[in-house]
Every structure is written in C-alpha cells, then in structure tokens.
Amino acid sequence: MSAQLALPLARPLASVFLLAGLFACGGGGSSKADFTLSFTPDRLTARYFHNQHHGVNTFTPPVTATVNGTIDPVPTSNLYVLVMEDSPVFQGNPSLVSLGGNAFSLTLTPDLSLAAATHSGNLTIQMFQDSALSKPYTVAGGTLPYTLTVDPELTVTVKIDGVVAPQIFSSSNTAVTDINQSTIYWNGLQPPASFSLAPGRVIELTASVPVTWHSPDQFYPYGSLWSAPTVTATTLRQTMAAPPDGMSGMTGNAYIAVPTAAGQFGAGLVVDILQ
C-alpha cells in the first residue's frame, strides 16, 4: 500500500476523512467479514496541554496520535478507507502509511484547542470498493478507541494588595523559554514592565498548574534587597522591596513561573518599583 493525502469530507455530526487508493485489494463475497483489522496498542492515545504549539509555548514536537495495525487478508486491488470520528477531536488530514506486508500505521492530529479534560470515544474505519463509497466491504475490528488527555495551559493571575489585576500571563504570552542565572530568555522581545508599584505593596500570583517560582530576591542586581516570598506549588506572595538610598527606583524585577511537568514554556511578568 502507498500513502496518499487525506481529503476532508464534510458530514453532519462527524469529521470524516477519505484516504483513497491506500491498498491494492480484492476479496469479499463471503459470509464472513471481507477484512479484519487489528491494532497495537488497541487504543489511540495522546497527551498534551491545551493550546500546545511547537515554538510558541513548547519545544515539544507537534502532537500526533499514532497506532500500528494489520489488515487481513492482504488487499490486491483498490481499497478506499473512510475514518470517522464520533466527536470533533481531531483535525487536518489523517495519515495511513504502509509498514510492509499487511502492516500499516494510522496517525491523526488532535485538536489543540480542546478544553483541558479527558476526551474519549471511538473512531470507525469503513472500507469501500469504489471512490463513490457506494460499495462497502464488511470490516471486523474496525472500531478503534481513542483517549486524548488535555492538561491545562499555564496561566498566571495577579492580585495587587488583594485586588485582581486584569492582566493574565501564560506560556503563550510573555513566555519564558529558559533561565540562566540572572538571564531570562523571553520568547520574543523582553516584555515591558507589567506593573509599576510602590515599596510595601503586596503582589500575589496564582498559577493554573504546579510550578517552580523565580522571584526578584533570586536575581541580580537587587536580590539582596528583597525578603523571600511565601510560596506553594501554585501560589506566590511577596511584599515590594524599597530601593536603596540614593536610587529613585528599581526596574525589571521579574517573576517567572516554570511548570514542574515538562513540555511547557514558563510564564513571566516584570515589576518596576518606584520610590
């Protein structure tokens, strides 16, 4: 069999994909199923975080869900394969690739905008003798379960003296790709100060997922002027430090949240202290 591009075919209540000419096949006409499919593993799975995009909020390669399969008997003439999903959780063109003999792999791209949750259901694989899909074969084992586990994207919300700020920071917005001592690598240009605050005001940060916090007391050149924050896996609370004598302020004080689970960039914001 040879790989072909998939053509989207609009159908009510389902996203349907047509992959034409993938096998050369013949057969049919008996009382038993014309073809039998089997899959290893027996479930199509993928795990990723909401809104995951390579180079935008992660260095992880693009998300796919792949399963290997076999078809018996080996097709010997044209076979048209329709892959139907019971709910719209995949996007783009599926890929069906020969692995030699009667083996193949099936790869689909999950919808990255799915809400954080576990999305489970079934794909149904149908086979036809003709491109008009009017002459179906009977297929045994043509139901393939799937489970997509979507974790929350990192977001950080802010309170100043107990009042919720309108800004929300995320691994897609003012993202941080790395921290090397006091050097912060922002994904794009370093953002301007998010807040300008007076000494003594209190900032409270809440992350949507467990994170490792990095706060101004850890960074050069003002670190020694700050008291340590109070932190948990998802919260940080710190009082703004006062500039040293003779200085009118301290600019560029960074707060960074880095997810403890691998895969996402961090999220950051900057505070300027005004005397």
Q: DSSP assignment of 12-42, as one string?
A: TTEEEEEEEEEEE-----SSS-SEEEEEESS
Q: Where in the chain is the domain with CATH 2.60.40?
A: 6-151, 155-274
DSSP letter assigned to residue 75: P
Residue 58: predicted pLDDT: 97
pLDDT of residue 39: 97
Q: What is the pTM (predicted TM-score) of this model?
A: 0.83
DSSP reduced 3-state for 66: strand
Note the pLDDT of residue 18: 38
pLDDT of residue 246: 84
Dist CA 49 CA 143 (whole Å): 26
Task: Scan for tokens 């044209």, then name that residue.
Answer: 78
CATH class of 6-151: mainly beta
Q: What is the pLDDT along the chain (275 residues), one digit of tens a residue?
A: 223 323 333 232 233 333 334 444 333 444 589 999 999 999 999 999 999 999 999 999 999 999 999 999 988 777 888 888 899 999 987 888 888 888 999 999 999 999 999 999 999 998 888 888 899 999 999 999 999 999 999 999 999 999 999 999 999 999 999 999 889 999 987 788 899 999 999 999 999 999 999 999 999 989 999 999 999 999 999 999 999 888 889 999 999 999 999 999 999 999 999 87
pLDDT of residue 26: 37
The per-residue pLDDT for 53 is 96
Chain centroid to Cα 266, Å, comes to: 14
CB-based contact 187:177 (threshold 8 Å): yes
The pLDDT score that the predictor gives to residue 31 is 53
CATH of 155-274, one of 1.20.120, 2.60.40, 1.10.10, 2.60.60: 2.60.40
What is the pLDDT at residue 5? 29
At 197 the three-state DSSP class reads strand
Q: What is the pLDDT of residue 267?
A: 97
- Inter-residue contact 107 to 22 (CB < 8 Å): no
